[in-house]
Amino acid sequence: MSTDLHETFRELKLVDHHVHGPLAGNVDRGTFETLISECDVPQPAGVSAFDSQVGFAVRRHCAPALGLEAHASADAYMAAREDLGADALAKVLMGSAGVSDWIVDSGFATDAIWDVARMNAELQGTTHEIVRLESTLEAIAPTSTPENLETDVEEALAKASERAVGWKSIVAYRYGFDFDPTRPSSAEIREAAREWMGDFQPGVTPRVENPVLLRFLLHAACATGKPLQLHVGFGDADVDMHRCNPALLTDWLKLIEPTGARIMLLHCYPYHRIAGYLAHVFPHVYMDVGLAINYTGAAATRIIAESMELAPFGKILYSSDAWGPPELHYLGSVLWRRGTERVLQQWIDDDEWSPAEASRVARMIGRNNALRVYEVTS
């Protein structure tokens, strides 16, 4: 084993380029098991999230951080977790993740988790905000009109860009990637807005699923020149997996390249090899395998290696995509470090890479690429 490489990973302060806040309150075991799964309803009797890769990883890696033996039982782990309480647990696990910068998607289920300001105040490291496009439109629409919606959104994005380091879209959930790649005209936007806004119910937050409005958001975000994150592939049951293959984005990627916006393909499993191809052939495309690392646990090393087959190493970033249980914030770091070190060490052992080059690439993926792309100073 390369001592220099191991030391690089031990000391490396990560930039988690796509993450959410930790839970703001305590949860029972059933809720916890649901939250460490992408299934949003309880599993049937006899099936436990602890009997999965992520569940095994929690007992192996998070248990020692709570003062337990590695591989502690699920019962012992939950008891230790409850004794600490949500706030202390977040500080222990996230403080042990070795992250200097959290780039936070602030647009999903924010009542249940710490917001950006609280993360910045209570955690080690600095937070930076990613603004979710669909949430922005949904917040604006109730006080706008079909005639003014396009301008109102563009003005809101201009204002948000003063604080945000980038954007996030969940078009993969709301429609899919098989959308018309062209920017809709103002007339199309007005017509789509009339159709959508005509169905609003008093007191109900509108949900934008209209493909014209969704692709308008993508083009409006790219026009700002800031990085745009897109959820790709693996996610909860709202995703139609066959429609979130990033290959479907090819024509759109060609159209928006002149804007200078960088497109960040998030998570990507099981399409991570296709994402690597897109990062290879398009200068403005980047990728990670963030969410997949936690959920594949001990098997994550293979996915990390596959993500490094085609994508230029300056185009690969680290993320955890952790939301809620701080175990996911911690595991993202631990599993990425362990898996990536194993991949690079094998290439050193095969005399394909030098230890110095392996350490340099580790720092690129874990930290330096994100600092460059999001133009943040740590």
Give the C-alpha separation, 206 to 227, whole Å: 26
Q: How much of the chain is in helix, strand and coil states, percent to nearest 5?
A: 55, 10, 35
9 inside domain: yes
Shared domain for 270 and 160, answered yes or no, is: yes
Question: Is 109 a residue whose pLDDT tops 80?
Answer: no
Domain identity same for 42 and 184: no
The DSSP result for 340-355, as a single string, is: HHHHHHHHHHTTSS-H
- Rounded CA separation 335/222 (Å): 32
State the DSSP H helix or E strand holding residue 320, giving kind and residue range, or none if neither.
Answer: none
Mark which of 84, 106, 127 sits at the end of a domain.
84
Region 305-328: what's the mean pLDDT?
Answer: 98
Three-state secondary structure call for residue 337: helix
- Domain check: are 33 and 68 in the same one? yes
| Residue 184 confidence (pLDDT) above 70 | yes
pLDDT tens by residue, 341-371: 999 999 999 999 999 999 999 999 999 999 9
Q: Which domain holds residue 32?
A: 27-84
Q: Do residue 183 and residue 313 come from a single domain?
A: yes
Q: Where are the beta strands (DSSP E) in the chain?
A: 14-19, 99-105, 126-132, 164-169, 228-232, 263-267, 285-287
pLDDT number for residue 236: 86
279-291 residue pLDDT tens: 999 999 999 999 9
CATH number, domain of 299, equals 3.20.20.140
* Least confident interval from 9-23, 108-122, 263-277, 302-316: 108-122
- Distance separating alpha carbons of residues 370 and 376, to the nearest angstrom: 8
Mean pLDDT of 27-46: 91
DSSP classification of residue 200: -
Shared domain for 312 and 323, answered yes or no, is yes
CB 220 within 8 A of CB 131: no
Do 122 and 237 fall within a single domain? yes
Q: For a pLDDT cut of 70, what percent of the chain falls above it? A: 99
Mean pLDDT of 123-150: 95
With respect to residue 122, please indicate whether it lies within any of the assigned structural domains. Answer: yes
**36, 146: one domain:** no
Total domains in the fold of the chain: 2
Please indicate, yes or no, whether residues 145 and 76 belong to a single structural domain of this protein.
no
201-223 per-position pLDDT tens digit: 887 889 999 999 999 999 999 99
Q: Does 378 reside within a domain?
A: no
Query: Do 369 and 249 sit in the same domain of this protein?
Result: yes
DSSP class per residue in 236-283: STT--GGG--GGGGHHHHHHHGGG-PPEEEEE-TTSHHHHHHHHHH-T
Residue 319, in any domain of the structure: yes
Tokens standing for residue 208: 């934008």
Q: For residues 74 and 110, state if they share a domain.
A: no
In a domain, 269, yes or no: yes
Residue 143 shares a structural domain with residue 69: no
Mean pLDDT (the chain, rounded): 95
Across the range 97-109, mean pLDDT stands at: 91
- Both 184 and 279 in one domain: the answer is yes
* Residue 291 resides in a domain: yes
Per the domain annotation, does 129 fall within a domain?
Answer: yes
The pTM of the whole model exceeds 0.85: yes
